[in-house]
Structure 1
């Protein structure tokens, strides 16, 4: 009996696996909007290697740059090769970067302050001079940061943070590098409102000793921004081990402080020419202090 040679035929109805099948096997479907993509990234169902995680953090914080840039421009800002962006898009079921980019374009259309900030950053200095051009760029970045809070902010977490801070025996304020101007001002305003607090400033390398004094009745208010290479996560971990409550202001779900936090709010600051605004972080922090002061006055009055 003669043997038949050649490749075996696929069973009737069999199809090659699609990228969406891969998404489903990982516990999610192809995101249809930027918000859905954010939900997938923050769900913990996707375990990304270092380079792709770097991409995820950038697109989380700078959707306007992703929407309005070419693949080469975005790759340069992220610090990866364009092929890495394509690979990232394909993981989530998209055919390539252009298909993936449409999520960000739709998102930016609905958030005009951010779109204006990005467009302003691309303008060349005019007759008014480079200094005024830079000032306008920074103002635009600050407006974009503040506008983002209005359009997307976790009010429930914010209220819970106020309640925890109002009931704290002692508030420890932790932040370093770029976050330190925020925490130092918050410590000052807490003191001005009559609230006992400790600014963990690490002067004399004493930060670990300061945090070692935390206890179950204390609350840590931590501020941290990417690239998350400061001492803050280590200090917060020590306070957590001592059963202090932890509240965090940070700029993405990828922050190492998020798993350590009882509550956290996201504040993403825009940048201009490599300089990043702190306007939104200060606004949220001051609002927290004000909320705690009001809550405590009500408790005293009652």
Structure 2
């Protein structure tokens, strides 16, 4: 944040009226702005989204995502839920806030789509398809994403396990090999158990795929492949809309690669589901 403040201070005399509005809002809302998409910051300052993007480049950043990363360095101290609740009340206090939340989620998915590292995504799919075993590491709210990823990968590959008990990680990962793959899911506020498990896997030479919120995530140094999906929002909760969309794409890509080998497997599952009356038929 100090870097951003310094750039704003130095550039203030050259700023247009609209740019000054953005600058002053950032300086007066240092805890909430790092959670804002470009469209949200535009709305809160009464300027266009294009003006916000131009403001970022005016300060010397490659675009708004880089400015946002610089802003987010200020919250690496990990805001408490109480602090984030106050931010939520400041930003989403109007009756129509529900529609703002929808729009913010759309903006997060759009940003992810525009900034996806397609090569990293393809390499992640290849690692998953060719893995002997897959272990998913996720804690606290990220477990919800872990359950979803485990359910479908194990349906396709029959070799996937979500490590549900954080205190059982050491026993589960004891026999990791270079033929296995570990997938770590972690978003602010990051859990130490997840970071420790990924560090252990990295030391064992096991390929590590990380799905996390941004380039400043402490999970990334332990990853062979990092996929980012923004989850920050000005609230006491995180938005998992973009991460879930990324996981949807990952599962679909794995299924497409394995479609010739899993067709019979899925047909057998359909027969079993039919026998045990799994699905409601009306």
Q: Same fold (TM over 0.5)?
A: yes
2:106 maps to 143
**Alpha-carbon distance in structure 1 between the residues aligned to 2:164 and 2:60:** 38
Structure 2, unmatched stretches of 5+, are: 6-21, 35-54, 66-89, 264-282
Match of 2:190 among 209, 215, 228: 228
State the secondary structure of the residue aligned to 1:226: coil
Mean CA deviation greater in 169-178 or 66-75? 66-75
Change beyond 3 A, Cα 1:290–1:124: same
- 1:72 and 2:34 correspond: no
1:6 maps to none
Give CA deviations for 1:222-277 in whole Å, capped at 9, x if unaligned: 11112334311101111222221101111222222222211111211241433321
Greater C-alpha Rg: 1
**Alpha-carbon distance in structure 2 between the residues aligned to 1:122 and 1:105:** 25
Give CA deviations for 1:175-201 in whole Å, capped at 9, x if unaligned: 112322111111111123243111011
Question: Cα distance, 1:101 vs. partner?
Answer: 8.3
Number of matched residues?
A: 203
- 1:276 and 2:222 correspond: no
2:142 maps to 179
1:212 maps to 174
- 1:237 and 2:193 correspond: no
**Alpha-carbon distance in structure 2 between the residues aligned to 1:171 and 1:286:** 17
Structure 1, unmatched stretches of 5+, are: 1-50, 56-65, 79-98, 110-120
1:293 maps to 255
**Alpha-carbon distance in structure 1 between the residues aligned to 2:118 and 2:24:** 30
TM-score (norm 1): 0.58
Q: Comparing both structures, which one devotes a greater share of its residues to helix?
A: 2
Change beyond 3 A, Cα 1:292–1:123: closer
Give CA deviations for 1:262-296 in whole Å, capped at 9, x if unaligned: 11112112414333210110111121122112212
TM-score (norm 2): 0.62
